[in-house]
A and B are shown apart, each in its own frame.
Chain A
Amino acid sequence: MKIANGKDFWAGVMFVAFGAAFMVIAQNYPMGTAVRMGPAYFPTALGGILVVLGAVVLFRGFVSKISNPLVVFPFRAWLFVGGLVLGAIAYYTQVARDAGMLAQFGHEMLSGLAILALFAAFGERSLWVVLFAVVVFGYILKPLGLVAATVALVFISAWGGNEFKWKEVAILAAVLAAFSVASFVYGLGLPMNIWPSVWE
Chain B
Amino acid sequence: MEALTALVHNLGIGFGVALTFQNIFYCLMGCLLGTLIGVLPGIGPVATIAMLLPVTFTLNPTSALIMLAGIYYGAQYGGSTTAILVNIPGESSSVVTCLDGYQMARQGRAGPALGIAAIGSFIAGCFATVLIALFAPPLAEVALKFGPAEYFSLMVLGLIAATVLAHGSLIKAIAMVILGLLLGIVGTDVNSGVARFSFGVSELSDGIGFVSVAMGVFGFAEVISNLEQKEKREVFTKKVSNLLPSLQDFKDSWASIARGTLLGSALGILPGGGALLASFAAYTLEKKISWNSANFGKGAIQGVAAPESANNAGAQTSFIPLLTLGIPSNPVMALMIGAMMIQGIAPGPQVMTERPQLFWGMIASMWVGNLMLVVLNLPLIGMWIKLLMAPYRLLYPAILVFCCIGVYSISNSPFDVMQTAVFGVVGYIFVKLECEPAPLILGFILGPLMEENLRRAMLLSRGDPLVFFQRPISLVMLVVAAFLLIITLAPAIRKKREEAFVEA
- In the complex, per-residue mask of A125-160: 1 if CB is within 8 Å of any chain B CB, else 0: 011001101110111011000100110011001101
* B418→A135 contact, CB < 8 A: yes
What chain A residues lie within 8 Å of B455 (beta carbons)?
36-37, 42
Q: Of residues 148 to 193 in A, which have CB atoms within 8 Å of B's CB atoms?
A: 149-150, 153-154, 157-158, 160-163, 168-169, 172-173, 176, 180, 184, 188-192
Q: Does B22 contact A (CB under 8 A)?
A: no
Q: Does A70 contact B (CB under 8 A)?
A: no
What chain A residues lie within 8 Å of B425 (beta carbons)?
118-119, 122-123, 127, 131
What chain A residues lie within 8 Å of B174 (beta carbons)?
53
CB proximity of A89 to chain B, nearest CB, Å: 15
* B417→A190 contact, CB < 8 A: no
- In the complex, per-residue mask of A1-14: 1 if CB is within 8 Å of any chain B CB, else 0: 00000011011001
* A157→B396 contact, CB < 8 A: yes
Contact of B181 among A10, A25, A46, A184 (CB under 8 A): A46
Contact of A190 among B409, B418, B450 (CB under 8 A): B409
* A157→B230 contact, CB < 8 A: no
* B463→A126 contact, CB < 8 A: no
* B401→A37 contact, CB < 8 A: no
* A134→B228 contact, CB < 8 A: no
In Å, the complex CA distance between A22 and B401 comes to: 34
* B178→A142 contact, CB < 8 A: no
If A10-B433, A115-B418, A134-B417 touch, does A154 touch B401 (CB 8 Å cutoff)?
yes
Residue of B nearest to A133 (CB): B400
CB proximity of B468 to chain A, nearest CB, Å: 13
If A138-B414, A150-B401 touch, does A7 touch B175 (CB 8 Å cutoff)?
no
* A123→B417 contact, CB < 8 A: no
Q: Does A56 contact B (CB under 8 A)?
A: yes
Chain A interface main SS type: helix
* B401→A39 contact, CB < 8 A: no
Residue of A nearest to B174 (CB): A53
In Å, the complex CA distance between A54 and B174 comes to: 10
Q: Does A33 contact B (CB under 8 A)?
A: yes
Residue of A nearest to B223 (CB): A130
Q: Does A34 contact B (CB under 8 A)?
A: yes
In Å, the complex CA distance between A168 and B58 comes to: 34
CB proximity of B453 to chain A, nearest CB, Å: 11
In Å, the complex CA distance between A133 and B403 comes to: 12
Instruction: Tell which of B185-193, B290-298, B471-479 binds the partner.
Output: B185-193
- In the complex, per-residue mask of A111-123: 1 if CB is within 8 Å of any chain B CB, else 0: 0000100110011
In Å, the complex CA distance between A158 and B396 comes to: 8
If A34-B458, A50-B182, A134-B220 touch, does A162 touch B191 (CB 8 Å cutoff)?
no
Q: Does B1 contact A (CB under 8 A)?
A: no
If A7-B433, A39-B192 touch, does A15 touch B175 (CB 8 Å cutoff)?
yes
* B182→A22 contact, CB < 8 A: yes
In Å, the complex CA distance between A150 and B417 comes to: 14
Contact of A138 among B185, B197, B394, B417 (CB under 8 A): B417
* A137→B182 contact, CB < 8 A: no
In Å, the complex CA distance between A118 and B428 comes to: 13
What chain B residues lie within 8 Å of A106 (beta carbons)?
none
CB proximity of B222 to chain A, nearest CB, Å: 11
Q: Does B420 contact A (CB under 8 A)?
A: yes
The interface centre, meaning the residue of B181, B230, B231, B394 with most chain A CB atoms within 10 A of its CB, is B394
Other CB < 8 Å A-B pairs besides A154-B400, A158-B393, 6 of them? A19-B178, A26-B197, A29-B196, A126-B227, A157-B400, A190-B58
Query: Nearest 6 CB-CB pairs, A to B?
Result: A138-B417, A138-B414, A35-B463, A126-B227, A34-B463, A39-B189
Q: Tell me the A residues contacting B by CB distance below 8 Å.
A: 7-8, 10-11, 14-15, 18-19, 22, 25-26, 29-30, 33-39, 42-43, 46-47, 49-50, 53-54, 56-57, 60, 72-73, 91, 115, 118-119, 122-124, 126-127, 130-131, 133-135, 137-139, 141-142, 146, 149-150, 153-154, 157-158, 160-163, 168-169, 172-173, 176, 180, 184, 188-192
